[in-house]
Amino acid sequence: MSRKNSDSDKVQAVEVKCPKCEFTQIKYIPKEQIGKCPECGSNMIISEILEEGKSY
Ligand SMILES: [Zn+2]
């Protein structure tokens, strides 16, 4: 486990996608793990990096 101290508080919203059934989900890394598809149990992959959610 390697963790950089800089930007450690930053979370990045990513869209993850199941390559098998194309189920998509938004995850906040590194706070949340990408994990597996709740539908079919395949490993999810990052399909898109989303803008960081900023407070209005
Ligand atoms: Zn799936």
- CA 36 to ligand 1 center in whole angstroms: 8
User: Per-residue pLDDT tens for 34-48?
Assistant: 999 999 999 999 999
* Per-residue confidence (pLDDT) for residue 22, from 0 to 100: 97
Q: Kind and range of the H or E element at 35?
A: none
* Per-residue confidence (pLDDT) for residue 10, from 0 to 100: 82
Tell me the mean pLDDT per 10 residues along the chain, length 56. 64 95 95 95 96 64
Contacts of 8 (CB under 8 A, 6+ apart): none
Contact 48, 29 (CB under 8 A): no
- For ligand 1, an ion, list residues with CB under 5 A: 18, 20-21, 23, 37, 39-40, 42
